[in-house]
Amino acid sequence: MSFTITATPETFRLAEVFTISRGSRSEAQVVTVHISRDGITGRGESVPYARYGESIASVVAQIEGLPAGIDRKSLQDTLPAGAARNAVDCAMWDWDAKSTGRPVWDLAGLATAPRAEITAYTLSLDTPERMEAAAARHQSRPLLKIKLGTPDDMPRLEAVRRGAPRARIIVDANEGWTVDSYSDLAPHLIRLGVEMVEQPLPAGADDLLAEIARPLPVCADESAHDRASLPDLVGKYDMVNIKLDKTGGLTEALALRDAAVAEGYGIMVGCMVGSSLAMAPALLVAQGAAITDLDGPLLLAEDREHALTFDADGVHPARPELWG
């Protein structure tokens, strides 16, 4: 018997406007997938990303075009890495868990049950004054991620450090810098205690990272999608940001994590701005990661029922009512 697969666009309001170097948004637009068979339904969520040529309509069309009889193994070859495959793959894992009565971490062969992981909290790109105020409001959080990527980022860096003098800080340029601007900023990143910089140069134009000093770890985001990306990262990056919407689901994300670790990369697990349903499978990949950035639900004005719990210990594993 084949799965019945439905793909439904949904919208979640953000608590505040969220800005990166490529633009701003006030809502999270996601695709929710339900797969059903034998009276059991599994769920998954993805966030189509225009940067990768995706839209709500294109992702829904990919999912609706899946052949009858598709399973998780054949899915990997039927759809490319991306948001459409992610939602279906995660829904299939959820269905497997519900149909067998075993949690996904066990089905996936992970050694132990997942635990809470400290997650970064993201401060979106804004004026230095507003970023300083945001940093002050969130200075008790253990790890802040700053969105940068403009020609005028130095005042923003200084402002955030003033607002949160004791917080750990990482920065994400979202491909917004040049070699010269990154080289100029790097000493100041170190002076201000920044621990890592994410995607300083545009993907496809990042070869110069292999030729300049990297005084602090550089993490590949837009340059790293799945295992096929790894050969092109050699000598340029120290870490890999694994996002399920890039890998095309939990199946490839787990494989990418293992392959990246074997090649000596540090692991970061990140997310698009989505609900708890999107974060739940990513938390399995984040176990033991150097950096976890699964704060999507914290940026929402509303979340799903049975939402993930965030507290001083970090983001906690999902309850079965949500996923897995």
Set 98, 145, 236, 243: catalytic member = 243
The amino acid at 293: D
| Residue 98 bears catalytic tag | no
d(CA 91, CA 85): 10
CB-CB neighbours of 76 under 10 Å: 18
Starting at the earlier edge strand, list the strands of the sheet with 40-46: 4-20, 23-37, 40-46
Distance, CA of 139 to CA of 146 (rounded, Å):
12
Q: Which stretches within the chain are classed as H helix? A: 56-64, 72-78, 83-100, 104-107, 128-137, 154-163, 179-191, 244-247, 250-262, 276-285
Alpha-carbon distance of 152 to 191, in angstroms, equals 17
For residues 12 and 28, the answer to whether their CB atoms sit within 8 Å is yes
**What are 280's strand-pairing partners?**
none
Tokens of 31: 């695709």
> Is the four-CA dihedral 199, 200, 201, 206 of positive or negative sign?
negative
Which residue in 98, 145, 147, 236 is the catalytic one? 147
Q: Do 264 and 94 meet the contact criterion of CB atoms below 8 Å apart?
A: no
243 is a catalytic site residue:
yes
Tell me the catalytic residues: 147, 243
